[in-house]
Amino acid sequence: MNQAQPIALDTSRALNLYDLTQPELVELMKRWGQPAFRAKQVWTQLYRNLAPSFDAMTDLPAALRERLKAEAQLGVLQLTREQTADDGDTRKVLWQLPDGNVLESVLMLYPDRATICISTQSGCAMGCVFCATGRMGLLRNLTPGQIVEQVLYFARGLRNNTFDATSRHDHITNLVFMGMGEPFANYERWWASVERLHDPQGFNLGARNLTVSTVGLVPGIRRLANEKLPINLAISLHAPNDELRSALMPVNKKYPIAELMAATREYIELTHRRVSFEYVLLQGQNDEVEHAEQLADLIQGMLCHVNLIPWNPVLGAPLQRSHRKRIQQFQQVLLERGIGCTVRMERGVAIAAACGQLAAVPQST
C-alpha cells in the first residue's frame, strides 16, 4: 500500500505540531538539539494531556517551550461561531482556515455516549442533491492536523467541563467521519488522522469507536478492507437502482450499484465486519414500498445494517422529507425480510447540524 508522504519540516515558518507524526516530531527535536525523549513528552502533552498551550507543557524546559512558541503552533483553525441545540446536547462549531475557507464539526451527547462528527474537507465535490455541503463544491482538502484539531477541541471541552456543567461525559466515546467532505477523496490525510487518534501512546480512541462514511468510492472501500485498524464503514446508498441513484448521487455514474455492491461484498469477506448502509428518505422519490423491496433484494444475505434517515431540510433544495407513515412502512419491509434496520434519531436540525445540513454558513439567531 502507498505510504503517506512525510511532512517537510520547514523551520522558516511556524509548524502546526498536529500535522507531525511521532517520527517527524523526533526528527524536529533532533534538529533542535533536543534528546529523543522530548518528542515523547510533547506527543503526550498534545494527545493525552490535551495541552491548550505551550506554557501548559510544564514538563518541558522553559527554553524549549519558548522555541516552540516562536517556531510552532498548536493548530490553525479559528473558531468563528459556536451554536447549540437540543438543550445543549448538540453543539456545532464553525471553523475558518488560514486561507479563509471554512468547515464545521458537531458534538452530540447521548445518555450512553458522546459522539463527534468531523469534517475531512472544506466543501465537497460529490454533489449529492440532498446535501448542503455538496452545493458548496470542493474548497480544499484538510491536513491530518486540521482533522485532528477538531477532535481535540471537543475532547478538551468535555474533559474540562466547559460545554455543559450537567454533562455526564468527560471524554469522547465515538467519532464519525461524516461531516463535510468525502474522506476517501482525501484518503492519505484522513487515514493519517485515524492513526493519530487511535495511537495507544496518544489519544487512544479504539478503532471500533471510529466510523467512516463514503458516498461509494469503490477504490477507497477496497483500500480500507486491507488496512490494519478495524474501523467501521458506512456507505451512503440512498437508492436501490442505478437510474434513481444517479439522479440523486452523481458518483453513481462512475461507480454504479453493481460495482459498489461487489466491492462491499469483498470488504465484508476480507474483514468479517458489518457494513452500515445510509438511506436518506425523500418523499415520493425513494421511499415507496417497491423501493424498500428492491433494497432488500440488493443487500439480502449481506452482513449489514440499514440506517434510515428522514431528510433534513436544505435551503433551496426542491425536496421533502418522507412522511412518518412511509418511513414506518419502508422500515417494516426491511425488517420482514430479515434485514436489520433503524431510523436515525434527529439531532441539531434547528442549527443546521443534522445529517446533510453542514454548509459552513452562519445561521440566523
Q: What is the pLDDT of residues 266-288, one digit of tens each?
A: 999 999 999 999 999 999 999 99
Model confidence at 34, pLDDT cuts 50, 70, 90, reads: very high
Contact 175, 205 (CB under 8 A): yes
Q: How far apart are CA 224 and CA 84, in angstroms?
A: 34
Find cell 465484508 and name the residue.
268
Determine the residue type at 14. A
Catalytic residue among 24, 104, 188, 304: 104
Would residue 355 show up in a list of annotated catalytic residues for this protein?
A: yes
Please give the helix or strand (H or E) that residue 174 lies within, else none: strand 174-177
Helix, coil or strand: residue 204: coil
Residue 11 has pLDDT above 60, yes or no: no
Residue 2 has pLDDT above 90, yes or no: no
Catalytic residue among 117, 124, 304, 355: 355
Q: What pLDDT is attached to residue 319?
A: 77
**Alpha-carbon torsion 211, 215, 217, 218, what sign?**
positive
Q: What grid cell was written down for 310?
A: 428522514
Q: What pLDDT is attached to residue 47?
A: 98
Domains parsed from the chain with CATH numbers:
15-73 (1.10.150.530), 78-351 (3.20.20.70)
- Looking at 8-22, 145-159, 311-325, which range is the least confident one? 8-22
Mean pLDDT score, 349-362: 47
Neighbours of 77 (CB within 10 A): 21
Query: Model's pTM, two decimal places?
Result: 0.90
Residues forming beta bridges with residue 308, ordered by sequence position: 279, 343
Q: What pLDDT is attached to residue 362?
A: 42
Q: What pLDDT is attached to residue 314?
A: 63
Residue 51 has pLDDT above 50, yes or no: yes
User: What Cα–Cα distance (Å) separates residue 222 from each residue in 148, 184, 233, 240, 271?
Assistant: 24, 11, 11, 21, 11
Determine the residue type at 102. V
Would residue 104 show up in a list of annotated catalytic residues for this protein?
A: yes
Which positions ≥6 away from 124 have C-beta within 8 Å? 131, 133, 134, 136, 137, 138, 180, 181, 182
Q: How far apart are CA 260 and CA 172, in angstroms?
A: 32
Please give the helix or strand (H or E) that residue 27 lies within, else none: helix 22-31
